[in-house]
Structure 1
Amino acid sequence: MLEIHQFPCLSDNYGYLVHDTASGETTCIDTPDAAEYLKQAEAKGWKITQIWNTHWHPDHAGGNEAIKAATGCAISGPAEVTKIAPLDRELTADDTVALGDHVAKVIDVSGHTNGHIAFFMPDDGVAFVGDSVFALGCGRMFEGEPQQFWGSLSRIKTLPPETMLYCAHEYTASNAKFASHADPDNAALAAYVAEIAAKRANDEPTVPAQLGRELATNPFLRADDPAMQQRWGGATPAETFAALRSAKDNF
């Protein structure tokens, strides 16, 4: 059995501890706050044995060395993580990592950073996507190019629609405002936005998000929709994505 423990950390990050009850192994999905991860693992009675990094930014890999020093865990991630901390294993697209018998496939989701990866666990119906895609949004394009980022989102779009996307930040209320601006006639989006507002009013998380719902409401995943292309003036999905991303950056 796979257990996912989600908890807030830093100002708006989510931390994830993923635990396999059969083997007793536990992996951190990114490490924004080493002290909080160690505290949460101790409270659960879990020993951290691995870290899986999605990308190199400090609010994702900044706790690697402290957690490894405390636990002796093995760290796996894209080569770019070595900008701030050593890796035990460098991962590239189509590699796999395992937590007991639970296997995660590595997906190239570059664009936010050039080495960004996601971890898709098909047998468990979950994907840990870092900052590549958010509920009703996507990450800023700090290093990549529009065609590259759109290719990454296209790979996410091919996952089973019931897949639950575990992203790294609680940005959904802000994303919902832009999504409503970007796609004002989307009835499914309007219903989603109302649910998000109710959850945040009660200080409830909006993450994880179901991919199927995101496909119907997330403007960045809909850049290949003819109506979105017409509204945003893109001749191709990548051009539409670029227009949306630029608009969100200045929204």
Structure 2
Amino acid sequence: MMSVTPIPALSDNYIWLLRQDTSQNVCVVDPGEAAPVIELLEREGLTLATILITHHHGDHTGGIEELKKRYGAHVIGPNNPTIEGLDQTVDQGDEIRVMGRLFEVIATPGHTLDHVSYFAAGIPALLFCGDTLFSAGCGRLFEGEPAQMLDSLNTLARLPEDTLVFAGHEYTQANLAFAQAADPDNAALPHVRNECDKARAMDRPTLPSTIGRELKINPYLRLATDSVRRSAGTQGPNGDDLATFTTLREWKNRF
């Protein structure tokens, strides 16, 4: 069986550690810093075999050099020469085997142009989506266009609803506050917000989410609903998903 463990890093990042119960070799996703990974590995007597990278931002790549030097890990990530230490580059449609699971690489540009996500079908299905899809939110558009991010989100939304969603940051509470403003008629949001507030009060992560849950609470996946379009001012015969998404994302930047 594969287990996935969050390693809190920096101010609000999660580095995800993948482990099979039959091996001491492990994988980490997006190590923004090395120290918390090393501390866990040494405490548990584990060896870092693989590093997966979703995009080039330093809070997702900052630990590569030290971890690779210490453990000789094989580093896999998008084809971006600014990411130092890559041993293997991947893009849309590639498949890689990590910790005994076959992962499909999905190009998810928008937050950055090089962004990829990693999806493993099965039970449970796993999605490591970096800064593309958050619980109740999505990443800022630092490099991509709204249409690119919307297409990336729609691609992820079509994955099986029981897929576990492992995002790169603990942004859920702030995202839910915005979701209630953007989707005020959504009866699911107060309950989920209460659950997440309780989890954070106990210093527990609000992740993973699931695709099914995000379809119910994430305003960026509910662009065609009357509640969201009224809030965005894009209701009516000329309203469309792209206009609604663009308005929501710009509104969230100022929220």
Q: What TM-score do the two structures reach when normalised by structure 1?
A: 0.95
* Residues 8, 36 of structure 2: 8 Å contact kept: no
1:94 counterpart = 2:93: yes
For residues 178-199 of structure 1, the C-alpha deviation after alignment (integer angstroms, 9 at most, x for no partner) is 1111011110112111211222
Amino acid aligned to 1:60? H
* Residues 126, 166 of structure 2: 8 Å contact kept: yes
Deviation at 1:86, TM superposition (A): 2.9
Alignment-derived partner of residue 247 in structure 1:
251
Cα distance in 1 between the residues matched to 2:209 and 2:28 = 19
Moved more, 200-209 or 210-219: 200-209
1:121 counterpart = 2:116: no
Alignment-derived partner of residue 16 in structure 1:
16
For residues 217-247 of structure 1, the C-alpha deviation after alignment (integer angstroms, 9 at most, x for no partner) is 1101112335423431342212111110000
Mapping of residues 190-229 of structure 1, within 5 Å: 190-229=190-229
* Residues 20, 99 of structure 1: 8 Å contact kept: no
Mapping of residues 1-251 of structure 1, within 5 Å: 1-22=1-22, 24-80=24-80, 82-123=81-122, 124-234=124-234, 235-251=239-255
Amino acid aligned to 1:236? D
| Pair 126,51 (structure 1): closer, same or farther in 2 beyond 3 Å | same
* Residues 16, 30 of structure 1: 8 Å contact kept: yes
For residues 140-197 of structure 1, the C-alpha deviation after alignment (integer angstroms, 9 at most, x for no partner) is 0110001100000001100111111001111111111111110111101121112112
SS of 2:103's equivalent?
strand
SS of 2:48's equivalent?
coil
Cα distance in 2 between the residues matched to 1:35 and 1:200 = 23
Deviation at 1:23, TM superposition (A): 5.0
Amino acid aligned to 1:110? P
Unpaired runs of at least 5, structure 1: none
Cα distance in 2 between the residues matched to 1:13 and 1:166 = 11
Moved more, 112-121 or 196-205: 196-205
Unpaired runs of at least 5, structure 2: none
For residues 21-64 of structure 1, the C-alpha deviation after alignment (integer angstroms, 9 at most, x for no partner) is 34543111011111211211222222111111000000001111
Cα distance in 1 between the residues matched to 2:244 and 2:29 = 31
Q: What TM-score do the two structures reach when normalised by structure 2?
A: 0.93
* Residues 62, 84 of structure 1: 8 Å contact kept: no
Calculate the aligned-residue CA RMSD, in Å. 1.4
Tell me the matched-pair count. 250
Identity of aligned residues (%): 38
Deviation at 1:250, TM superposition (A): 0.5
